Structure formats: C-alpha cells, structure tokens
Structure 1
C-alpha cells in the first residue's frame, strides 16, 4: 500500500521503524552524494546524512514538515553542510593566524607557558558548563551561529538560546576571574582570538 507523505511523516512521528528505514534507504545515498558535492569529503558527507537521520528519529515526536519530504531532507543536508563549511573555515583561519603569529614573533618561554595555561583554563571552564549550555555556547562563539540558527538546529526557542548564553558567560566570568590579569597581559597574543570568542 502506497503511503502519502503526510502518512509517512505521521508514521515516523509515531515511531514506525519500518517506514523510517524505508525512507532512510530511499534517500541515503542521494543525500550523501549531494553533501559530497558541497563538502568534497565522502566520510564527512556520510556523517552529515547519518546525523540528520539520527536527529529526525530522536526528535520524531516533534517532526513537522510543511514542504515535501524530499525537499525537507535536501534542505536540511544543505544547511548542515553550510555549518560544516563555516566551522572548517573558522578552524582554518585560526590555524593560519596561529602559524603567522608564531612565524613573525619570538615570544619568551614564560609567555608561551602563560598562554598555554590560559587556553587550558578556558577549555576547562567551558567543559564545566551544563551540557546544553556548553553546546549552545560553542555553537554561538566558536561556530558563529546566530541565535535563531541554534534554536532551529536544536529544536528550542531563540529565547532559551539567549538565556543559556547569558548563563554560560556568567559562569565563565566566575571561573576565569583570577586569570583576568593574565588575559590583560596577553591581550595582543595568540590567546586573544579565543578571548574574543568568549566576549568576557
């Protein structure tokens, strides 16, 4: 019996694994090919598509599709790929900045140690954040996603995103309070890039 797209979405929402598997098998390879046309990396492309389907299944009870299922899946893959590309670009720019900085400056061993210590403390402080708070903070500050983009990706409201960012900054200010003098000393160093992302 042929199901309409509305019936397919309804079946997935109700936890019908057989219908979900049929949709997965039907679109998986073509979605991977589409993702690969953007990312030029087959492993990452497959990961994007797998994460998409995992996310759909995990949040199946909230699944709402106002366009065709095929368009929905392709648009979702497209958006995920854009986020990956943006993240890779930021990481590449950071690496170029780091390489350029180290090539052009001769810092003392003590300054290098201070920078490494501060970077480590920042990472430790971020890791202490509650799970959702930490995820939202990283998406905002390190992947530069806007509040509404984070809200859409995580299935929450923009107001919740805003509240979680505020909570994260409050916690980080407390965690890093004793390192503020060190931050000032290193204001023009490599660590500044990471400090800028924190907006502390």
Structure 2
C-alpha cells in the first residue's frame, strides 16, 4: 500500500479523512491515538463503566475504518467522533435491559459462545499481553488490581483484606489502569488494524 500522506505532518481534517479513505493506516493510527483517551473518558461519563466505555470507542473506530470510503462528515473530525460516541452510548443505555433479558433467555448452562479462529487467536494473544503487562505493575498495585478485576472484590473488601484504606485502593486501581493502557496501547491499535484488514 502506498502512503502519500504521512501522519508526522500536521494535516487538516480533510487531508486526514482523505488519507484514511485511501487506506492509510498510519494516519488512522494517529487519529486513534490522538482521540482515544478523551473519547473513553467521555463515554465513561455516560455509561459509568470503563470497560463498556472502551468497548464503544473501539467499536466506533472499527466502524470508522470499515466505512471510511463512504463517510460523510460535515463537522470537524473531533466533533464527529464525540457525537458518534455520544450516540453509541445512548443507544447502548437504551438497549441494555433488552440485551440482558435476551442473553438470559438464550444462554444455557454449559453452552459457550462460538468464536471465529481470528477472535480466539486475538483473545489468546490479548490475554498473554495482559499477563505480561500485569508483571510491570508494582506489587501492591498488582495485588489490588487482581483482587478487583479477577476476584471481583469491592474496594472496601480489598481494603480490609490488605489492611489499607479505600482511598489507597482507588489510587492503586487508577495507577494500574494507566500503566496497563500504556503497555497495551500498541497491541490495541494493531488488533484494530489486523481485524479490519480481513485476517
């Protein structure tokens, strides 16, 4: 693929959109990195769940790339991205109860969801990358994060078990998330691009 426009140069919104329409992955990655964190924070203010917020933002970028050749954007790219996240979050909230009811209806004991080979491989690689990233956390930070995310303990329960304050637990969780996002940023962008290119 030839890339006639490089993201290292300051591009206008129109130049950025034109480059992405031509399949320029480097420009797309630059757009992703520039807005991802802020979009996740905005989505979180609507959904109050960081995992859900990141899922919606990632889905937005997936859709953006898939439909890049036919996108009609009359505002700035930043405004378009924030409006799209806003709409996705409202739609998620609207259908949350319906989806949960449907999930309970169709899910049977012992029945596992089927995954494509690509999804299974991506999930396995992500799991391995998370394990590696976890090793980069300071010991207390890692213990707090593990108890929160993998044993699903409440902050108060973690504080009691480790003999620390709830405020310390909150701080350690925030620190862990910041470190993990940095450690996994490259993988996330790569996963998006690979997934979008038909692997």
Q: TM-score, normalised by structure 1?
A: 0.45
Q: Which has the higher Rg, Structure 1 or Structure 2?
A: 1
Higher-helix-fraction structure? 1
